[in-house]
């Protein structure tokens, strides 16, 4: 092939390429336009901010699952940390370390300072201490929406201290959230189905005198109004670690006691040491011979016998969805205050074996979580 043939071939190739490019111009234009609009939209989208204030220390057995649920609830409504959402967290550690009213208020002041600097659109508070010390003082504000999760105290009781709602169905202000319904009666029925010989024996609930303990005591009173007549129940309250350990030993020796519901979750050991759920339950499982009803399924996961337990992750998820709805433009006052949406039937087989309890197979099959 001579030089002219080579040049002609090159010319033909170039013409074909040009015709192909010309035919594809509409597609290329549409692609460029779409990409431009996408990048412009992404750049223009405002990053929103959510502040999470937890009553607990980091990774607490109650707080951790709620926090995880909150984030998943935000994701469900279109908000993703690191993309269009910035999340700041603070752990007030009011169950283990900062247990006095003075210490709680000091932690609340830290939260207030951080909120002022961070300027979140939504504040999420986990459990009663954070609600009482942080959320309630912010009731009526116009610049910050508040969502609570894991409230044990009655919303009406808090409302009497400082008005934050018109009614649960339509709060009307800047605060909404999820009340921690315990499903105590349901758990008792599950326990009777799981333990042969429990009928006719007494179930003993144990609470402390912390703010959460007071709230739990009130919840028991409310929920047990619908208790079946064939369930015998008694509530015991303890002031400190010594009273708790003495009570457990006493219950061990009482043949009329069939099960316990231990929800004393903050017990003072000395002036400088306070035990919380992990330490309390570890000792309980080593020294108690009565099957334990678990407040939530994470308590069963670390060793308590089980029952129908509050699903803390589902509770946090619902609170997170409410926070996401607010970020999407909904007013908190239009979002109803709801009960924890679900319970989980849970059992710990290791604990059952230690106690010599053979849980019926159909009940195990129906359980949501079985820990070995």
CATH code of the domain covering residue 288: 3.40.50.2300
Rounded distance between C-alpha atoms, residue 67 and residue 320, angstroms: 9
Please indicate, yes or no, whether residues 306 and 333 belong to a single structural domain of this protein. Answer: no
C-alpha pair distances (Å), 47 with each of 20, 323, 328: 42, 14, 12
Give residue-wise pLDDT tens across range 189-206: 999 999 998 989 999 999
pTM, full prediction: 0.83
Domain residue limits at 159: 48-181+313-339
Please indicate, yes or no, whether residues 156 and 88 belong to a single structural domain of this protein. Answer: yes
Give residue-wise pLDDT tens across range 208-236: 999 999 999 999 999 999 998 889 999 99
Give residue-wise pLDDT tens across range 67-79: 999 999 999 999 9
Q: How many domains does the chain have?
A: 2
Give residue-wise pLDDT tens across range 251-305: 999 999 999 999 999 999 999 999 999 999 999 999 999 999 999 888 999 999 9
More confident call, 15 vs 168: 168
Q: Is residue 154 one of the residues assigned to a domain? A: yes
Rounded distance between C-alpha atoms, residue 281 and residue 263, angstroms: 10
Task: Write down the mean pLDDT value for the chain.
Answer: 89
Residue 238 reports pLDDT greater than 60: yes
């Amino acid at each position: 092939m001579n030089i002219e043939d080579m040049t002609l071939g090159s010319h033909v190739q170039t013409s074909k390429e040009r015709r192909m490019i010309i035919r594809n111009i509409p597609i290329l234009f549409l692609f460029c336009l779409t990409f431009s609009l996408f990048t412009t939209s992404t750049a223009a989208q405002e990053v929103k901010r959510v502040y999470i204030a937890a009553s607990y220390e980091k990774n607490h057995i109650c707080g951790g699952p709620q926090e995880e649920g909150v984030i998943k609830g935000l994701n469900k409504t279109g908000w993703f940390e690191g993309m269009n959402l910035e999340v700041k967290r603070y752990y007030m550690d009011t169950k283990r370390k900062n247990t006095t009213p003075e210490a709680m208020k000091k932690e609340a002041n830290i939260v207030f300072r951080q909120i002022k600097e961070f300027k979140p659109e939504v504040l999420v508070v986990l459990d009663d201490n954070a609600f009482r010390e942080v959320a309630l003082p912010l009731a009526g504000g116009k610049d910050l929406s508040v969502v609570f999760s894991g409230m044990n105290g009655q919303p009406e009781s808090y409302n009497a201290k400082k008005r934050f709602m018109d009614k649960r169905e339509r709060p009307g202000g800047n605060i909404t959230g999820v009340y921690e319904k315990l499903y105590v009666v349901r758990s008792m029925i599950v326990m009777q189905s799981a333990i042969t010989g429990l009928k006719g024996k007494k179930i003993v609930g144990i609470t402390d005198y912390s703010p959460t303990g007071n709230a739990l005591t009130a919840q028991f009173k409310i929920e047990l109004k619908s208790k079946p007549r064939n369930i015998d129940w008694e509530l015991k309250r303890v002031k400190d670690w010594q009273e708790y350990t003495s009570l457990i030993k006493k219950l061990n020796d009482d043949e009329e006691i069939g099960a316990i519901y231990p929800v004393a979750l903050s017990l003072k050991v000395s002036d400088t040491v306070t035990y919380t759920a992990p330490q309390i339950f570890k000792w309980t499982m080593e020294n108690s011979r009565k099957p334990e009803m678990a407040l939530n399924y994470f308590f069963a996961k670390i060793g308590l016998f089980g029952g129908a337990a509050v699903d803390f992750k589902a509770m946090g998820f619902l609170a997170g969805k409410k926070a996401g709805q607010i970020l999407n433009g909904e007013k908190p006052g239009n979002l109803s205050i709801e009960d924890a949406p679900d319970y989980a039937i849970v059992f710990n087989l290791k604990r059952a074996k230690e106690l010599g309890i053979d849980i019926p197979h159909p009940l195990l099959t129906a359980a949501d979580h079985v820990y070995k």
